[in-house]
Structure 1
Amino acid sequence: PLVYLVPTPAGSLALIVTPDTIHDLWLDAINETQLIDLLNQTWFAAYRQSQNNRQGWYDAIDSATRQLWEPLMAPLMAHLQQHQIQQATLIPTGYLSLLPLHAAWTEDPNTPTQRRYALDDICIAYAPNAQSLTAAQAISDRVQADSILAIDNPRNDLPNSEREVQAAVSTFPHPTVLRHHQATVDQVRSQLPAANIAHFSCHGTANLNDPLASGLLMSDGLLTLKDIFALNLADHAQGNHGLRLAILSACETGMIGTENADEAISLPTGLLQAGVAAVIASLWAVDDRSTMLLLSKFYDLWRKGNLPPDQSLRQAQIWLRDSTAKEIAAYGGFFTPTPDDRPYAHPFHWAAFSYTGI
Structure 2
Amino acid sequence: PAPHTGTALIVGDPTGDLRYAGEEADAVHRAFYPGGRLLGLSTGDGTPRQVADWLRGEGDEGAVLHLACHGTVAENRPRSSYLSLKGGELTAEEVTDSLPGRLGLVVLAACRSQVSGRGYNEAYSLASAFLVAGTRSVIGSLWPVPDEATSVLMFMTHHFLRREQESAARALRRAQLWVLDPDRTVPPELPPVLADRLAELDPRDLSAWAGFTHLGQ
Equivalent residue in structure 1 for 2:54, among 187, 191, 197: 191
One-letter amino acid of the structure 2 residue matched with residue 188 of structure 1: V
For residues 122-161 of structure 1, what are the structure 2 equivalents within 5 Å?
A: 140-141=1-2, 144-161=4-21
* Contact 1:253/1:267 (8 A) holds in 2: yes
Partner of 1:239: none
Q: Deviation at 1:257?
A: 5.0
| Partner Cα distance (1:344, 1:178) in 2 | 30
Q: Does 1:177 align with 2:38?
A: yes
Equivalent residue in structure 2 for 1:320, among 179, 196, 200: 179
| 1:211–1:309 Cα change, 3 Å | farther
Partner of 2:124: 265
Partner of 1:245: 105
Partner of 1:343: 202
Q: Deviation at 1:213?
A: 3.6
| Partner Cα distance (2:147, 2:119) in 1 | 30
Where does structure 1 lack aligned partners over 5 or more consecutive residues? 1-139, 235-241
The percent identity for this pair of structures is 27
Q: Deviation at 1:172?
A: 2.3
Q: Deviation at 1:210?
A: 3.2
* Contact 1:290/1:344 (8 A) holds in 2: no
Which is higher, the Rg of structure 1 or of structure 2? Answer: 1
Q: Cα RMSD (Å) of the superposition?
A: 2.7
| Partner Cα distance (2:175, 2:21) in 1 | 18
Q: Deviation at 1:309?
A: 1.6
Equivalent residue in structure 2 for 1:208, among 75, 82, 106: 75
* Contact 2:141/2:212 (8 A) holds in 1: yes
Equivalent residue in structure 1 for 2:100, among 233, 236, 239: 233
* Contact 1:145/1:244 (8 A) holds in 2: no
| Structure with greater proportional helix content | 1
* Contact 1:212/1:265 (8 A) holds in 2: no
* Contact 2:14/2:45 (8 A) holds in 1: yes
Partner of 1:219: 86
Larger RCO, structures 1/2 (Cα 8 Å, 6+ apart): 2
One-letter amino acid of the structure 2 residue matched with residue 284 of structure 1: W
Q: Does 1:311 align with 2:174?
A: no
Q: Deviation at 1:212?
A: 4.5
Provide the aligned length of Structure 1 versus Structure 2: 206
| Partner Cα distance (1:205, 1:156) in 2 | 16
Equivalent residue in structure 2 for 1:278, among 114, 121, 137: 137
Q: Deviation at 1:348?
A: 1.5
TM-score by length of 1: 0.52
Q: Deviation at 1:151?
A: 1.0
TM-score by length of 2: 0.83
* Contact 2:67/2:109 (8 A) holds in 1: yes
Where does structure 2 lack aligned partners over 5 or more consecutive residues? none
